Structure 1
Amino acid sequence: MLQAILFNDTSYDDHHGCQLVIRQIRALATEAGIHIAHASPVRHDWTKDRFLLERVAEADVCIVNGEGTMHDDAPAAMMLGRLARHCRKLGIPCVLINSVWQNNQQLTEFAGDFSQIFVRDDLSREALELAGVASEVVPDLTLSFRPAVGGLVRHGLIINGSVLKSVQQQLWETLSQLPSDMDVRYLSIRTIPPLRHGSEGRFFFKSLKANAKMLRHRLGSRLGRHPDASSSRGLGRLRWRYSVQSTADFLRTISAAEGVVTGRFHMATLCMITGTPFMALSSNTHKIEGLLKQAGLSGRLCESYTEGLSRLPAQPYSEAERAGLERFLEHSLAAAKRMFAGIARLASDAQNK
């Protein structure tokens, strides 16, 4: 099999969406004949990692998971751009996948160093096109997953958070003002990441330390007084207090809801793959607007949780929305498979030169 190194492995983050993205990257890569021999954690400085630098020099291809990183010339994004230039100098293909692209100037200087770029939405493709850089659209890789859920009786609404502190606080203000007989509950997307072993064993103690800290926060959030939503610490504790640790259980919980109001991109994609009606608030990039436009669900964007909760009960999926969403999910899976098959061809061609 072709040997690859994965960069920006977001499964180290405490997030069901990130866990599922990396799961799909590994599964789809294997199906295409690519073995991910090593993975570099999100925000890990590859330039100071001698082991990783040696592995890069031996790899057939480097795969960068752009996810929510490649925007606003962020330091983590610039580090991944420099990786592409490093790989180009070595003659090793470096491919950016599953990426947003927005508000970049310095980063755009490195865009041409990627062998190929696959962005998640048309808005990101258009941003690169304006900079004279070609890219292809392949929707977020969570959309290539097919959960084993179904037959559950739906009841009640779920309200989910945001990466934006002000929006997360708005969520708790909204909940505090709801009638007591309204069947609405908060569900966090947080989860404790798996410990590292095998080819990632050198990060075992790092992951153990991080997981122990997360576990303390989770236990602390469920003991004593209810955390205060007015502080950053309180918001963090609330996310742990109302979390579900198993991704399978998390997806079943969504599948059993009549609807979800969320400010998180991956909660929206997970609603799509479980067939759950939802309303979405804007996030820190155009990712949610881009996703809704792709799926033919632009009418499901709302300005506030109050608006989302008021509109959702009267807005189950229409027949047109349901048919369009089914087509979008089929397209997403097919596009993801084509992308990895293309990466395999690219690596093979480079190997044969």
Structure 2
Amino acid sequence: MTPVAVFNDTSFTDHYGCHAVMSALGRGLRARGMEPAYHWPVARDWRDAVPDVRALGVRALVVNGEGSIHHSETRERARWLAELPELARDLGVPAVLLNASISDLDAATLEKLGGYDLIYVRETQSRAYLVRHGIEAAFAPDLSFDTPAPVHAAPRRGLLVTDSVMKEARRDLRRLARREGGRFVRMIERPSPWRKLVARLRPGAPVPQGATLADAGKAESFAARLAGARLVVTGRFHSVTLALKTRTPVLAAESNTAKISALMTDVFGATGRVIGAAELASPNFAARVQEGAAFDTAEGEALDLYLIDARDRIAAMFDDVARLSGGTGR
């Protein structure tokens, strides 16, 4: 197996969607002869990892972009990830950026981002943004679409509401669930007292080399809960992706960037299922929720095509990484 280092491992957040992404990333790499030999967590400067990565002799740096690369003037995390090709050049290995939503970057960050040998973004809007700035990129849907779809034979029942990264939307979504008799689910599990203690004593510490906190079982269990619902209302990008993966009707409030609108446009060609923050408390929206917002025929056909395309594009993305990094391919 060809050893690679994985950066921006979001499974450390214990977020269901991030468990789905990081599990899929590991599966895709290993299926093509690449072994993630080192994981570096989200929200920590990669420069602290240099001695370990150098000692391992990895053959590539693989960066999971997700929603980390935006508003670089105020978010140092975006700048850190754009600068990772510097380490790759120093090690003499390729740097690949996968599964990213990208927007609102300053000129210096864009220039550094152009140092990646391969970039895959998860919405066509992100690709268009990079192309406008002279950076080549390919498109493959979010890795959570690689989560195995649960088999759900029972009739769909009830409303399932998840939270949002936005404070006001999170409050209104919780109120919606209470008002409409729905179940409210947090996307990030509450950490155990032991986990809190470790985080306090060793803030940001990486797990041992070669390890990750990715738990495919948590992702699949959450997907199964979505599959049992009549309707999902959410403010989380990965609640949308997993609802779509399970063909569960979904309505969504936008997140901290336009990534949900971009995803809906890629799938349906429109943003009719994206709701404004002010709509969450409106009587008209309550009526729409009560009706169930089922997919119409055109939406169902568009979703079927998107899911087939997602499978093929994700596979092609990993094939490209293998060709660049010395993996074996499928």
- Identify the TM-score tier after normalising by the shorter chain: 0.7 to 0.9
CA distance in 2, matches of 1:264, 1:138: 19
Name the residue aligned to 2:87.
86
Contact 1:47 1:53 in 2 (8 A): no
CA distance in 1, matches of 2:218, 2:326: 37
CA distance in 2, matches of 1:17, 1:148: 15
* Residue-by-residue CA offset, 1:237-272 (whole Å, 9 max, x unaligned): xxxxxxxx9433322221111001111100000101
Name the residue aligned to 2:152.
150
* TM-score, normalised relative to structure 2: 0.85
Contact 2:173 2:234 in 1 (8 A): no
* Residue-by-residue CA offset, 1:324-348 (whole Å, 9 max, x unaligned): 1111111111111111111111123
Q: Name the structure, 1 or 2, with higher relative contact order (CA <8 Å, separation 6+).
A: 2
Specify whether residues 247 and 117 from structure 1 end up closer, same or farther in structure 2 by C-alpha distance, changes over 3 A only: closer
Aligned ranges for residues 115-134 of structure 1 at < 5 Å?
Answer: 115-134=117-136
Shift of 1:90: 3.1
Give the fraction of aligned pairs with identical amino acids, expressed as a percent.
Answer: 30
Shift of 1:156: 1.1
Specify whether residues 332 and 283 from structure 1 end up closer, same or farther in structure 2 by C-alpha distance, changes over 3 A only: same
Name the residue aligned to 2:287.
310
Shift of 1:184: 1.8
CA distance in 1, matches of 2:138, 2:94: 16
* Residue-by-residue CA offset, 1:17-65 (whole Å, 9 max, x unaligned): 0011000000011112211111111123221235434246x21111000
Name the residue aligned to 1:5.
5
CA distance in 1, matches of 2:227, 2:297: 18
Name the residue aligned to 1:99.
100
Aligned ranges for residues 178-217 of structure 1 at < 5 Å?
Answer: 178=179, 182-191=180-189, 209-210=198-199
Contact 2:147 2:220 in 1 (8 A): no
CA distance in 2, matches of 1:97, 1:193: 28
Shift of 1:279: 0.6
Name the residue aligned to 1:328.
306
Specify whether residues 79 and 52 from structure 1 end up closer, same or farther in structure 2 by C-alpha distance, changes over 3 A only: farther
Q: Secondary structure at the match of 2:326?
A: helix
2:259 to 287, 290, 302: 287
CA distance in 1, matches of 2:196, 2:94: 29
Q: Secondary structure at the match of 2:141?
A: coil
CA distance in 2, matches of 1:139, 1:290: 11
Contact 1:3 1:59 in 2 (8 A): yes
Specify whether residues 20 and 212 from structure 1 end up closer, same or farther in structure 2 by C-alpha distance, changes over 3 A only: farther
Contact 1:261 1:309 in 2 (8 A): no
In structure 2, list runs of 5 or more residues that go unmatched: 203-216
* Residue-by-residue CA offset, 1:211-250 (whole Å, 9 max, x unaligned): 999xxxxxxxxxxxxxxxxxxxxxxxxxxxxxxx943332
CA distance in 2, matches of 1:168, 1:42: 23
Q: Secondary structure at the match of 1:298?
A: coil
Shift of 1:77: 1.7
CA RMSD of aligned residues (A): 2.5
Name the residue aligned to 1:197.
none
How many corresponding residue pairs?
303
Structure 1 or 2, whichever has the larger Rg, is: 1
CA distance in 2, matches of 1:162, 1:77: 21
Contact 2:148 2:220 in 1 (8 A): no
Specify whether residues 107 and 310 from structure 1 end up closer, same or farther in structure 2 by C-alpha distance, changes over 3 A only: farther
* TM-score, normalised relative to structure 1: 0.79
* Residue-by-residue CA offset, 1:110-149 (whole Å, 9 max, x unaligned): 1121001101111111111121111011110001222233
Specify whether residues 55 and 121 from structure 1 end up closer, same or farther in structure 2 by C-alpha distance, changes over 3 A only: farther
Q: Secondary structure at the match of 1:70?
A: strand
Specify whether residues 123 and 50 from structure 1 end up closer, same or farther in structure 2 by C-alpha distance, changes over 3 A only: closer
Q: Secondary structure at the match of 2:322?
A: helix
CA distance in 2, matches of 1:35, 1:28: 10
* Residue-by-residue CA offset, 1:175-215 (whole Å, 9 max, x unaligned): 55x3xxx4322122122689xxxxxxxxxx988713999xx
CA distance in 2, matches of 1:55, 1:89: 13
